[in-house]
Structure 1
Amino acid sequence: MALAFFAFAVTGVQAAPVDVYRGTLGGADVVMELGQPKAGGEREGRYFYVRNGVDIPLKGTLGALAEALPINDEWRRAQSDWPVFSDAKQRSMQWRLQPQGDFLVGEWVDGFKGKKLPLSLKRIAKYDPEKIAPQGVEAVTKTIVQGYGSSVSKGVALTTQSAPYDYLKMIEQKLEQGREVVVNPSLAWRPVRDARTRFWYPRLTRHPDAKILSQTNALLELRHWEMNLEALGCAGSIYLSSGPEAGSLGNYNHEEVKVSYLSSALMSVVESGSNGCGGAHPNNHFDPFVLDLLRGGDMDFTRLFKGAKYGEYRLEFSPQMTGFIQKSLVNQPEPHDDRECNDFLPEYMALMLNKPDKMSFVISGIGHAMGACLGSGVNISFKKLQPYLKPDAERYFQP
């Protein structure tokens, strides 16, 4: 727990605003984040090469800012404090910088091989990482399940104002383009991926409403970026952990993201997999979400179903619809093993759509011990749902 908490600390959670710099290290583009000087002039920060997006911790005075060494040998693993900034012979890699207005200039010195490279960085932003960091339950959950990962709270919009350091980590990448999937001449989507993290994520490429297309892609992009940051955070744990996942992508490179349904009114996407980076157990998950392609944004199911409301933890249906779902669940033909999961559906229910014309009520968010039940549930045709729909809802349920 302590090590995972420290991971958040060194990746940007500090009490005071930090400065963000961008420039070059030799011929490579880099972005650096640097905290305010403490007693004696010591600072803490991090930087990444734009080409790989992996954070490397920094610590020291401006004239001798040491770069963390990966925990990849017996000596470094034996140390009591991570990250490690020098070896047993006190050799280190240092940034030797001097301020010149909004610039920091100097040289990068490899104390192991004697190599030197010029450094030039311009200050481009200032922000407070504490305002976007995971807090409370989210921070504890990420520590237990994820172990190491992103220092940005879920749902934070990455912009040049709110999170300039992480925004630059994402925005600079040219995404690989998959094959376009055409539903009809005015409706299509395409998978894209960041070569650094290697999993595919959808984007709309055609929709009758240009504004809806743009809004939807902004939401898809944010979710994609959040997962990318988690994966790159795990890759950066090579400087913070000796665990077997340290330096990996936390299995995000095997994440499966599917578009299960797309019409001009609704888009249903499922994120599923088993990822983690040294937590107590892997994050086995089956997380569907549905986007409203008529109004924009996430689908508000209370506008579709009679008597539905959002409770403290989940969507709650009317007694009539709840009974209908339970009856449909019990009566459907399914393997016996799935029936053992039926009792969990009301408490851990998520909604998704399956083509050509079905809504699915499935188990999502259940604890690790019952992970085998993830995704099980019942499929109900649009036609059978009609008695429970509000009058304006039927325009959403077109195959």
Structure 2
Amino acid sequence: MRHAAILLALFAVSPALGDDALTFLGVLNGRDIVVELTDGVTGPVVGRYTYRDTGGDIPLLAVSHGDGGIVLNEEAPCDESTCKTDDEGKAVDPPLAAVWELTYDGEEYIATGTRTTLDGKPKSAPLKLEVLAWRTLDASEEITPFGLHDRSASMSFDDAVPLNWASAPYEMQLLDTTLDEGLDDHVGEANFVYVTDPRTKFAFPRVTGFDDGSPVDKVNAILSEQHGRMNLSAFDCLAFRYATYGKGEYMAEMGGTLGDYDSEQVSLSYASPRLVSWVQSGSLWCTGAHPYNHVDSYTFDLETGKPLDLAKVFSAWVPREWGAAVDEVADAKAVAANPDGFYWGPSAGLMAYVRDNIPSDLFDAELESECMGPEAIAEHLDIRFADGNAVVFTLSGFPHVASVCNGDLFSAPMDEVSQFLGKGAAEYFPGAL
């Protein structure tokens, strides 16, 4: 079996095999850890590890490997004097915390050895790491501690990067933890609870049952994955204490926190056997010049497991070329030939409806001009769904100072916006029209 072959070849040079990364479970100083190490087939053995009770990767830098043995340097968090990177963002002489010395047993799939600290009087702790799983490295993935961590970080914002046991065993093992559960509640056509990962502290919904008895597997797979991706983003901020992960001398005060994910607010607004909608809001800041002040709405189609294409529900959700006037709807054939060359948003009629129904006290004159101009509505209007088959019109994506525009505008019963609905609306909301 290829699995066994890779395990037997761990840390050995074998051009016949590809590059793989193995996930190990172990205990260090009484705390459970998850470790990922590359196999050393065509490059150095590098890795990372994290404590399961906190999250946040720690880089393991290559020193040497061969004949079943491996030596790694564990990086230490850096400060103003040691957070040094070159022009390409690569770490320069990062501080070190410890040395890992391991021997791998290819028959038992176990690595044993010691971790010896480098600060003050050296202290050694035993290590016993057992193989949990392996994955093939992506073709574009750097075989470096940064490359391993960066792949996890990309999962937090890119749904196209798979988050499952086959392709991401390290991340899935880290996310597999006991969640605190809140009180039962009801919205739309579902009972639900909020669950909280005690490490990241923000609550995220799970559906406990639908009114018609439909299974909850699909909706909870979506909610669990999105919760997990948010956790990975928080862990990414927590790991931004190391020069190898890009922390430089000008960013010495950043990172090492949850990036304010622990203050993030997530609210389920609608759930049915076909759709689930929620809203996330807060002010996140880990790196960069500005915090991410946001009120973001999400609606997923349970059949596809992907974000709902609003054009399936609203005939008034139309494509435009970037920079086009609001009344210039793109030709359907042109859109089909080049889908990425257009963006979708409200038709001129739907925009007029939204402007006419905004509460008069929502914006002052200056903000109304900035937040509710034609281009602003065309680019930033979003829609989610709420209890009672209501449509919530909201603004999102305004950056920096303009983020004051982000937020809900108003909601309307679905039958009041029937002129903007398409044939697919009845499929997603049977009996509502």
TM-score relative to the length of structure 1:
0.79
SS at match of 1:157: coil
Letter in 2 for 1:221: S
Letter in 2 for 1:28: R
Pairs within 5 Å for 1:86-235:
86=95, 92-101=97-106, 102-112=109-119, 113-130=121-138, 150-152=153-155, 154-155=158-159, 156-171=161-176, 173-183=177-187, 187-208=190-211, 212-235=215-238
Q: Contact 2:57/2:239 (CA < 8 Å) preserved in 1?
A: yes
In structure 2, do the counterparts of structure 1 residues 83 and 107 end up closer, same or farther at CA, with 3 Å as the change threshold? farther
Letter in 2 for 1:260: S
In structure 2, do the counterparts of structure 1 residues 129 and 209 end up closer, same or farther at CA, with 3 Å as the change threshold? farther
Pairs within 5 Å for 1:217-366:
217-240=220-243, 241=247, 242-262=251-271, 266-292=275-301, 298-306=307-315, 308-309=317-318, 312=340, 314-329=343-358, 332=360, 334-337=362-365, 338-340=367-369, 341-343=371-373, 344-356=376-388, 358-366=390-398
- Any unmatched runs of 5+ in structure 2? 1-17, 143-149, 321-339
Deviation at 1:22, TM superposition (A): 2.2
Q: Greater CA deviation, 155-164 or 224-233?
A: 155-164
Deviation at 1:79, TM superposition (A): 8.3
Q: Contact 2:187/2:387 (CA < 8 Å) preserved in 1?
A: no
Aligned to 1:141: none
Deviation at 1:349, TM superposition (A): 1.5
Deviation at 1:19, TM superposition (A): 2.5
SS at match of 1:159: coil
Q: Contact 2:27/2:33 (CA < 8 Å) preserved in 1?
A: yes
In structure 2, do the counterparts of structure 1 residues 204 and 133 end up closer, same or farther at CA, with 3 Å as the change threshold? farther
Deviation at 1:314, TM superposition (A): 4.0
Deviation at 1:230, TM superposition (A): 0.8
Letter in 1 for 2:422: K
Post-superposition Cα deviations, 1:112-143, rounded to whole Å, max 9, x if no partner, equal: 34322221113333324546979xxxxxxxxx
Aligned to 1:30: 33
In structure 2, do the counterparts of structure 1 residues 339 and 379 end up closer, same or farther at CA, with 3 Å as the change threshold? farther
Alpha-carbon RMSD across the aligned residues, in angstroms, is 3.4
Q: Contact 2:83/2:242 (CA < 8 Å) preserved in 1?
A: no
Q: Contact 2:210/2:272 (CA < 8 Å) preserved in 1?
A: no
In structure 2, do the counterparts of structure 1 residues 49 and 200 end up closer, same or farther at CA, with 3 Å as the change threshold? same
Distance 1:263 1:247 in 2: 39
Distance 2:219 2:253 in 1: 37
Deviation at 1:351, TM superposition (A): 0.5
Deviation at 1:297, TM superposition (A): 5.2
Distance 1:219 1:161 in 2: 17
Aligned to 1:143: none
The correspondence for 1:76, drawn from 70, 79, 82, is 82
Letter in 2 for 1:371: S
Distance 1:114 1:376 in 2: 57
Q: Greater CA deviation, 173-182 or 22-31?
A: 22-31
Letter in 2 for 1:54: G
Q: How many residues align?
A: 364
- Any unmatched runs of 5+ in structure 1? 1-14, 135-146
Distance 2:419 2:255 in 1: 52
In structure 2, do the counterparts of structure 1 residues 261 and 335 end up closer, same or farther at CA, with 3 Å as the change threshold? same
Aligned to 1:51: 53
Q: Contact 1:148/1:279 (CA < 8 Å) preserved in 2?
A: no
In structure 2, do the counterparts of structure 1 residues 121 and 205 end up closer, same or farther at CA, with 3 Å as the change threshold? same
In structure 2, do the counterparts of structure 1 residues 254 and 332 end up closer, same or farther at CA, with 3 Å as the change threshold? same
Distance 2:308 2:418 in 1: 18
Deviation at 1:347, TM superposition (A): 1.3
Letter in 2 for 1:284: N
Distance 1:76 1:210 in 2: 58
Distance 1:265 1:125 in 2: 34
Deviation at 1:348, TM superposition (A): 1.3
Q: Contact 1:33/1:165 (CA < 8 Å) preserved in 2?
A: yes
In structure 2, do the counterparts of structure 1 residues 298 and 209 end up closer, same or farther at CA, with 3 Å as the change threshold? farther
Post-superposition Cα deviations, 1:204-234, rounded to whole Å, max 9, x if no partner, equal: 1111466652111111111111110011111
Deviation at 1:286, TM superposition (A): 1.5
